[in-house]
Structure 1
């Protein structure tokens, strides 16, 4: 995508969208999430736990090193794991946002990613009358319009999906709300996932 972050499009850019957009489907907005680190509820919970785990491992390594030899190096595994628990929920979402693009048409919302090692992916979500919209005010604002299932240690949970940390969230939210209202007679919402080049 060449469109600057969160700017309205006077003339929709359709290069790279051939075969993706339906006939007469129009692009209304394109943008990208704001960069930088964000601290969500999960990060605030994981941070103290991970730091405490790493701190204990570091303390153990100092004690073990006093006995001589390389036995203290076994603590590096736990020290690294603690740092991953503490910093992963902060650093990974920021890294993911750097490789994410958003597009809103008059029918669907698209989330495109181009992740190293994982490759390119384009997810689309139909905007229907039954679509639940949720706005987290900003700036930057976040708009949730779908959920996906994510497996964790305690089973499967629903994770919200949407346009995260965008600059003009209020305007995009109004666009999506109007689209939902105009689709009152359409079938229920569903999402599709396709492997396509990033626009």
Structure 2
């Protein structure tokens, strides 16, 4: 049984912080600024105001992702790294987010869990009226995010992960989602229809 939602308790968030350590430090060998080797976890300032998504399979945490909204969080170097103000314009201050810390347990990569996690992530953006979502990814993940509807911005040099591609999702651009046959299309339609039902009451 797969359950995907926002983390609800401090204990669940601790599981997320430890999963990050397992994947980023023990598996991939990334040098993370906020690594706590003693407690074997990675907890960052962005976690305080971020939406931390969790994917539980049969009660075990197998995946996670985080989004931070510009109106709630200090994005630090990400704002310049992704050229957010240049691309999003006025929306940068109120209707923009960044996505980070997207990961799946190694033995489940390639399964539908990654897509299901991103669908939950996207629907939350719709609900919160976020217009632009920015991410960066390694080359082998570019095709996955392009299929979702993310568009390339520029190659970047991330201070913790090295070379990668910055990408942007125009959240409410249905025309582009249809053009790339994004699995987000159905979620967009469901969201619009649910809003119409609310307005008609």
TM-score scaled by length of structure 1: 0.28
Whichever structure has more helix as a proportion of its residues is 2
Q: Which has the larger radius of gyration?
A: 1
TM-score scaled by length of structure 2: 0.28
Q: Which has the higher contact order (CA 8 A, sep 6+)?
A: 1
